[in-house]
Amino acid sequence: MGRLKGKKDLQTLTKHFEAFEKGVAKDNAAERSGVTDRKGKGKARSAGQVGLGLGSKVFDGLRFCISPEIGAVSKHKSWWDIIAKMGGTVVIRPDTAITHVIYDGRSAALLARELGLDTLSELPEGTVCVKWDWVVKCKMANKVLETGPWLSFQKTAFNRAFSSNAAIREGSRMRDITTDLLKGRSISITKRREPSASDSETESSKKQRAAPSVLERQPQPPKPVPQRSSEAAPTAPADAYRDNATTHGAGRGPGWENPLANKGDGLDELISGLQDGTIREDEDESVKENGIANEVADDEYEGTNPCLVADKFKCGQNHDGADDKSPNEYLARKFEEMYDLYQGVAGKDFFSVRNYRMAAGIMRRTPWPITKGADASKIKGIGANLAERWIDEFLSGRPGRLFYEDTSQARAIAAFKDIYGVGKSQANELYKRGARSIDDLRADPERYGLTSGQQVGLELYDDLRARIPREECKAIYDLVRSEAMAIDPKLWIEIMGSYRRGQEASGDVDFLITEDTEDGGSHAGVMGKLVNRLRDRGVITHELSQPHDWRALEAKWMGVGRATPEGKYRRIDILCIPFDQWGAALIYFTGNDVASAPSQTITAGRGLSMGKGSGSGCSGSGRPKDRLDVRSASLESGFWASIGYRFV
DNA sequence: CCGCGACA
DNA sequence: CAGTGTCGCGGA
Ligand SMILES: [Mg+2]
Ligand SMILES: [Mg+2]
């Protein structure tokens, strides 16, 4: 996913910083080292920020939070400049290091909401909420004045409680920040923040949560289990089904065939057709022309899509090569930065964040150079807001809101979000609780009340983020299949996902299991046996979620395992489904681009729906059509045709 | 029962 | 408001 555009990010930010540097005219060594350090995981940004606060200025060591207000960006930009010139540091979102919040509004509750807090008491102790006028007066007096007359909320308990001793606290806090800076660390004020009542309450209650991740072996009935060998046996399959299930040799061999009816699997035909060259690229185009976006799982995205709506779901793009031709590449990258930055921020509106990504695509596709926001607003898909607030800011070349918001905080939150089981909300919460890095979380895991799944995600952070080479998927598949066959040789087990599509690497390994119900066959209860056997064999090591009913015909298990005892830990999903859903489920989970989630959102509005159980459709005219039963694999190709694919 | 996160 | 549907987890 396109979070780290490494060097480009560095260049852009460095450029911004230099522009800012000129304006502020501060030139001490700390700043420069702050900039050059930047490669190191986004910590340097905070150093740079603190660098702005160095010098013998009035606000030296003070850290101001100014929450952005809709429609007030230019005002706030000038505020930032002024505070920076006075030696203060500005941040957009509260952190544990802030000393002041600038706020001219009326209500404490409103401010709390703007800051993404439940209540202002979550602010670090001693934080002063003060009106902008106070800054102006300080500037005129050239010293830090009593805040008294300019407090944002004169009468609230909050200010009564904290304002009296604020000055002393500010002093001590300031020293800590500089110490941290000299040590070259990112700011970490965690310890200084006294846990509030609510903190300790949640912590103690969460401590009682389920522990640990690593599964214990469960008693097993004695069974002749084959010893695991490193050459884990691609043994000769006993039945025809296994022979032609998935094309393991990277796109060679026969397509999958339904053993019941010898009709080809449309997806496999398509895949092998593409690889043979029997289907050319423009076959794919026909799909786009039909208005169905050619959307790909975000970890595999490889092209630029002419279909506008598709951009809304594009998570990562390849920006190499040809795209650089666009006269608006700079703007496109800025919007991508915005997307990368905001998609992890709690409280950001989902749709506006998505618009940034869409705007990036539009910028890149616009053939004429955009020189001012007003021009851009004429383009379909770019509203006045986007045009005037952002494009003009980007084109000005001056450090703007994006610059100030691209903080070590945003980067830390983005890193947290990459933990399996941690999303936008939890990532922000972890930061609020003082964590600044993955190592912080590891150092004191108790403190953060992680769920058992999140603990696994944290422990295996690097492994689980890595892609899985095709051969390793195959190795895991052989292990899982051999155990499944030992349980019941009549089981159907298939590997799904990008592996089945012939990709060289996958994000996880998914298995689909069923059994033909003819002759009374059933895979009920297989899930539990399989997981236990794999665990005994050391293949499965962690569990992330269990099926509601282990013995149900439809059951999903999610966890972690590895192909060899020394290998990396990999995400493994196992799914059991009723036999009659085999075909639909294969489509759904093998999910090539058209079947993937974002496409579903598109087809949904057109009377089509795709699910792991079945698909249904409307004819082109929109007239309700018979439900298309895709429950049999032999109808897969019919289903694909109905949503616009042509077959060879 | 709800919000979160993950899955396609 | 807006282009999805489903499930497990944990806490209220
Ligand atoms: Mg995550
Ligand atoms: Mg997968």
A275 neighbors A501 (Cβ within 8 angstroms) = no
Tell me how crowded residue A570 is: count the other CB atoms within 10 A of its CB: 24
Reported as type and span, the H/E element at residue A557 is strand A555-561
pLDDT tens digits for range A36-48: 333 333 333 333 3
* Nearest residue by alpha-carbon distance to C1' of B6: A421
Looking at residue A267, what is its pLDDT? 43
Ordered by start, the domain boundaries in chain A are 1-25+57-157, 328-405, 408-465, 468-586
**Helices then strands (H, E): number in chain A?**
29, 13
The predicted-structure confidence for A558-575, as pLDDT tens digits, reads as follows 999 999 999 999 999 999
**Whether A556 CB is under 7 Å from strand C:** yes
Residues by chain with Cβ below 5 Å of ion ligand 2: A 497, 508, 510
CA dist., res. A69 & res. A417, Å (int): 25
Question: Which residue in the block uniquely carries the two structure tokens 């076959």?
Answer: A283
Q: How many CA atoms lie within 13 A of A170 on its CB side?
A: 21
Position A212, amino acid: P
Lowest mean pLDDT among A169-173, A397-401, A475-479: A169-173
Does this chain's domain A328-405 share its CATH topology with A468-586?
no
Contacts for A503 with CB less than 8 Å, ≥ 6 apart: A300, A470
- The residue whose two tokens read 């709506």 is A309
A291: pLDDT strictly greater than 50:
no
Residue A580 Cα to ligand 1 midpoint, Å, equals 33
pLDDT band at A86 (very low <50, low <70, confident <90, very high): confident
Is pLDDT above 60 for A140? Answer: yes
Comparing CA positions, the residue from A90, A99, A86 lying closest to residue A50 is: A90
The spacing between the Cα labelled CA in A344 and the C1' in C12, in angstroms, equals 26
Range A616-635 average pLDDT: 35
Q: Which residues pair with A557 in a beta bridge?
A: A574
ipTM metric: 0.95
Q: How far apart are CA A605 and CA A359, in angstroms?
A: 23
A619 CA, C8 C1': Å apart: 36
Residue A162, pLDDT > 80, answer: no
Closest to A15 measured CA to CA, from A396, A415, A391: A396
- Rounded distance in angstroms from the CA atom of residue A540 to the C1' atom of nucleotide C10: 24
Tokens representing A567 are 């290998």
Q: What is the Cα–Cα distance from A404 to A90, expressed in whole angstroms?
A: 8
* CA→C1' distance for A216 and C6 (Å): 29
> What's residue A596's pLDDT?
62
The class of domain A468-586 in CATH terms is alpha beta
**Closest ligand to the CA of A501:** 2
CB of residue A385 closer than 7 A to nucleic acid strand C? Answer: no
Among A81-95, A310-324, A327-341, A475-489, the minimum mean pLDDT is found in A310-324
- Among A384-388, A406-410, A474-478, whose mean pLDDT is lowest? A406-410
Lowest mean pLDDT among A64-78, A256-270, A350-364, A535-549: A256-270
Range of A35-49, A253-267, A349-363, A581-595 with top mean pLDDT: A349-363
Mean pLDDT to the nearest integer, A103-107: 72
- Is the distance from CB of A498 to CB of A250 less than 8 angstroms? no
Residue A633 has a pLDDT of 41
Q: Tokens representing A593?
A: 């681009």
CA of A421 to C1' of B4 (A): 9
pLDDT at A603: 62
Judge whether residue A559 contacts strand C, using its CB and a 7 Å cut-off: no
Q: State mean pLDDT over A462-490.
A: 97
Distance A202 CA to C12 C1' (A): 12
CB-proximal positions of chain B, under 7 Å: 3-8
CA distance A437 to A432: 12
| Cα–Cα nearest to A335, from A293, A382, A298 | A382
pLDDT at A522: 93
Q: Is pLDDT at A280 greater than 90 in this prediction?
A: no
Tokens for A244, please give them: 């032609």
Fold designation for A1-25+57-157: Rossmann fold (3.40.50)
Give A218: exposed, middle or buried? Use CB within 10 Å, 0-12, 13-18, 19+. Answer: exposed
Helices A266-276 and A582-590, axial angle in degrees (round to 10): 40
Confidence of residue A429 (pLDDT cuts 50, 70, 90): very high
Contact residues for A243 (Cβ-Cβ < 8 A; gap 6+): A237
Pairing of strands A555-561, A615-616: unpaired
Considering all nucleic acid strands, name the nucleotide whose C1' atom is nearest to the C-alpha of residue A423: B5
Q: What is the pLDDT of residues A294-347, one digit of tens each?
A: 333 333 333 334 344 444 433 333 434 444 578 999 999 999 888 888 887 777
Q: For residue A573, give every residue at least 6 positions away whose Cβ sits within 8 Å of its Cβ, in sequence order, or none.
A: A508, A509, A510, A511, A556, A557, A558, A559
Nearest C-alpha neighbor of A149 from the set A310, A136, A617: A136
A119-133, A411-425, A496-510: least confident range: A119-133
Residue showing tokens 């090591």: A541
- Helical ranges in A208-301 per DSSP H: 240-243, 266-276, 281-289
As a whole number of angstroms, the distance between CA A157 and CA A45 comes to 35
Report angle CA A354, A69, A406 to the nearest 5 degrees: 55
CA distance A42 to A438: 13
Q: Which nucleotide is nearest to A426 (CA to C1')?
A: B4
Q: How far is residue A546's CA from residue A94's CA, in Å, rounded to a whole number?
A: 38
**Integer Cα distance of A507 and A484 in angstroms:** 23
Verify if strand C has an atom below 7 Å from the CB of A190: no
Class of domain A408-465 (CATH, top level): mainly alpha
Pick from A275-284, A414-423, A635-644: least confident: A275-284
pTM over 0.80: no
Return the ∠ at Cα A258 (arms to A256 and A260), rounded to 5°: 160
Q: Could you give the residue ranges of the DSSP H alpha helices within A86-142?
A: 108-114, 132-141
The answer to whether some atom of strand B lies closer than 7 Å to the beta carbon of A180 is no
* Range among A133-147, A443-457, A627-641 rated most confident: A443-457
Report the range of poorest mean pLDDT among A286-290, A382-386, A531-535, A564-568. A286-290
CA–CA gap between residue A610 and residue A597 (Å, rounded): 9
Q: Which fold has domain A328-405?
A: DNA polymerase; domain 1 (1.10.150)
Q: What pLDDT, on a 0 to 100 scale, did the predictor assign at position A146?
A: 84
Output the CA–CA distances (angstroms, integers) from residue A486 to A193, A349, A479, in the order listed. 56, 51, 11
